[in-house]
Amino acid sequence: MAGKIINEQDYYRRVYGGWLGKNIGGTLGAPVEGSKELLNLTFYPKLPDGPLENDDLDLQLVWLHALEQYGARLTAVELGQEWVEHVFFPFDEYGYALTNLRRGLAAPVAGWFNNPFTDCMGSPIRSEIWAMVAPGAPHVAAYYAYQDAIVDHAGGEGVFGEMFFASIESAIFFETDRDRLISIGLQHIPATCRTAKAVHDLLRWHKEGKDWMEARLLILENHGNFNFTDTPQNIAFTILGWLYGTDFEDCILKAANCGYDTDCTAATLGAILGMILGPELLPERWVHPVGDRIVVSPQIKGFPAPATLDELTHRTMAVGREVLATWGAGVEIRSDASTSYNSQYTFLEVPESVTALWHAPFTANRYLLPQGTRNARLGLELTIDYGMAGPSIGRGGTKQLALTLVNHSHEAWNGNLDWQLPDSWSGSGSRPFALAPDGVLTWTETISAPDTISVTNEIALIIHRIHDNAHWSKETVTFTLLAASRWQISGPNQSVIQTVDFAGDRIDVNGALNTTVPGTYTAVSKLVNPNEQAIRLIAGTANPVKVWLNGTVLFEDDQETEFMPAYHRSPRSKMHELIMPAGTHDIRIEVIKDEKPIELFILPILAENLAKIGEFFYLTEIYFDADAPSVSFE
């Protein structure tokens, strides 16, 4: 008999209440998202017919579809595929991850590499679906939250933020005490992460008797970030609303009135409170304007999204039954019994399967073999670690990969390891291997590229299995190496220009020159554009900057601004849109440095309002190569 029973009607009301609360909070906060001042909201803005569209809910509809399509054993790999097929958001971490996925990278590397937004709120806002399909099983919800978050936040606070919320929301099906729920969430993330520190500090200030506005200021003083979407401050604002609010309305208003990522804070707290209270206890004045309707953003496409919260709830519950059975979670959904559980379940004992995720490398991808394997304790496990430089290689350069092959099966695997490389590339050649059960093989592979390579380069490791000196089978693991960006860099008082390969869009001029002295730094390259197209060229930096294209000043900003290397919301003074002819174009960047380090991203983005499926997508076929010959493609 299951140790935990959820009455079917209780399951429905908590799930429906959560989705309803999510809709309410997101609709409240969306119009003032990004406002950093203390706000004075008292109710919704004037609404159209129903709720406002919001990525907080949109993305969870995609994950529901992923669960329905791939089943309960889905991983970050399938969730990444869902991004490519169904999510056309270019915003912040979404845009960077989607760029990496389109180039052939996989999570977690796709969620970490070249991504300056891994500490942001894009993943904590997606936690509810994992809690609702794993009711009363916080460790399962936290596992799914991790798989989700590493698609676009690997290595960052966004991962811990989603695990924190998912574990709280899963526990709500059996535990509704606020303080115990917050403790459960904190147990599922490392105490040393910035998110945990922000929540712990807030709990202390609340206990010391600070009022909510004092607590808000302390959060900003101790954990604030210029980027309004930064995770620790916003999760603290969410919990602030819960601690200081007197009822549902007061809670979500206090969270939203803290400002910053208001749709996220109000929506998540609305969901938590909606799950605790159930729809029948949510205030009618907040419920009536949004009703049962779901509004989906136009950038979410290609699958049957639920039209109502009732449909969403029933589909969530159907998947939940599969998840609980697959994971053996010890939770039973029944229509003929009351919700109950053995008091031995405190949800505070977090299994190693969760804590191990805190330390999982984000610079490496893992492959379970034979293809289609879902249990890491069976078959072969291959790990390819790219190192902190990521999956990039310079033209005419080399790339070292750290590989580990583990045999989890009960049979020996013997054979040869071979590389399948693009033309004119080279590696170490064939390598024999012999792996007994539980055997481990580690080695370093050095791959060399010719002077001319593609923007994306497909590499394959082929594992040939041999029995009795005869070929038996093979497994092929395919991955991608990206061409590095090549720039010529010079700085103050430096007469020598250095040619440097950068792993991504970040031009680390200080690191390349090993100097931090103030002055003017210069980066020169050639922008290679294979097709005439409308381009938004962004210099993502806080510093004064001047950009030339083919000897003509494209734009100049002599003021320091916010550092915001986003595809869609970089400062207008640090970008320019133009119709760029096909060919090779000379580009020159000058950045003026004061005492602070230079952060500089150069981004070729699709110009505004041109794409049918969205806008501000990264133009993956464009590249920067200081040594490229001057060629016209016309």
Give the pLDDT confidence score for residue 632 in this predicted structure.
65
Give the pLDDT confidence score for residue 1 in this predicted structure.
44
Q: Are 578 and 604 in contact (CB under 8 A)?
A: no
Average pLDDT rounded to a whole number, residues 146-157:
98
User: For the chain, which residues make up each domain, given as ranges?
Assistant: 4-340, 363-482, 485-624
Q: Which residues pair with 526 in a beta bridge?
A: 586
DSSP per-residue codes, 121-183:
TTTGGG-HHHHHHSTT-HHHHHHHHHHHHHHHHTTSHHHHHHHHHHHHHHHTTT---HHHHHH
Cα–Cα distance for residue pair 381/367, rounded to 1 Å: 6
DSSP per-residue codes, 53-122:
P-HHHHHHHHHHHHHHHH-TT--HHHHHHHHHHHB---SHHHHHHHHHHHTT--TTHHHHTT-TTTTBTT
To which residue do tokens 């294209």 refer? 549
Give the pLDDT confidence score for residue 225 in this predicted structure.
96
Instruction: Specify the DSSP element, H or E, that contains 591.
Output: strand 583-593
Give the pLDDT confidence score for residue 630 in this predicted structure.
79
The answer to whether residue 497 scores a pLDDT higher than 70 is: yes
User: Which among 246, 289, 312 has a CA at the least distance from the CA of 28?
Assistant: 289
Q: CATH fold of 485-624, please?
A: Jelly Rolls (2.60.120)
| Exposed/middle/buried for residue 385 (C-beta within 10 Å: 0-12, 13-18, 19+) | middle
Q: Spell out the residues 6+ positions from residue 532 whose beta carbon is closer than 8 angstroms to its own.
A: 579, 580, 581, 582, 634
State the amino acid at position 611 in one-letter form: A
Give the pLDDT confidence score for residue 609 in this predicted structure.
61
Model pLDDT for residues 426-465, shown as the tens digit of each residue: 998 899 999 999 999 999 999 999 999 999 999 999 999 9
Give the CATH number of domain 363-482. 2.60.40.10
Model pLDDT for residues 366-390, shown as the tens digit of each residue: 999 999 888 878 899 999 999 999 9
Size of the chain, expressed as the number of residues it contains: 634
The answer to whether residue 172 scores a pLDDT higher than 80 is: yes
Number of Cβ within 10 Å of residue 374's Cβ equals 14
Among the residue ranges 350-364, 397-411, 610-624, the one predicted with the least confidence is 610-624
Cα–Cα distance for residue pair 356/607, rounded to 1 Å: 42
Average pLDDT rounded to a whole number, residues 257-279:
98
User: Which among 135, 138, 69, 74 has a CA at the least distance from the CA of 107?
Assistant: 74
Confidence of residue 408 (pLDDT cuts 50, 70, 90): very high
Q: Which two tokens stand for residue 280?
A: 């029948």
User: Which among 453, 457, 456, 501 has a CA at the least distance from the CA of 618?
Assistant: 456
Among the residue ranges 322-331, 400-409, 568-577, 605-614, the one predicted with the least confidence is 605-614
Q: Are 124 and 158 in contact (CB under 8 A)?
A: yes
Higher pLDDT, 481 or 346: 481
261 is in an annotated binding site: yes
Percentage of the chain exceeding pLDDT 90: 90
CATH architecture observed for domain 4-340: Orthogonal Bundle (1.10)
Q: Are 21 and 288 in contact (CB under 8 A)?
A: no
Q: Are 479 and 365 in contact (CB under 8 A)?
A: yes
Cα–chain center distance at 228: 16
pTM: 0.96
Domain 4-340 shares a fold with domain 363-482? no
Model pLDDT for residues 72-103, shown as the tens digit of each residue: 999 999 999 999 999 999 999 999 999 999 99
Instruction: Specify the DSSP element, H or E, that contains 553.
Output: strand 552-557
49 is in an annotated binding site: no
Average pLDDT rounded to a whole number, residues 626-632:
83
Q: What is the mean pLDDT of the chain?
A: 95
DSSP per-residue codes, 1-35:
--SEEEEHHHHHHHHHHHHHHHHHHHHHHGGGTT-
The answer to whether residue 152 scores a pLDDT higher than 90 is: yes
Percentage of the chain exceeding pLDDT 70: 98
* DSSP SS3 for 415: strand
Number of Cβ within 10 Å of residue 480's Cβ equals 17
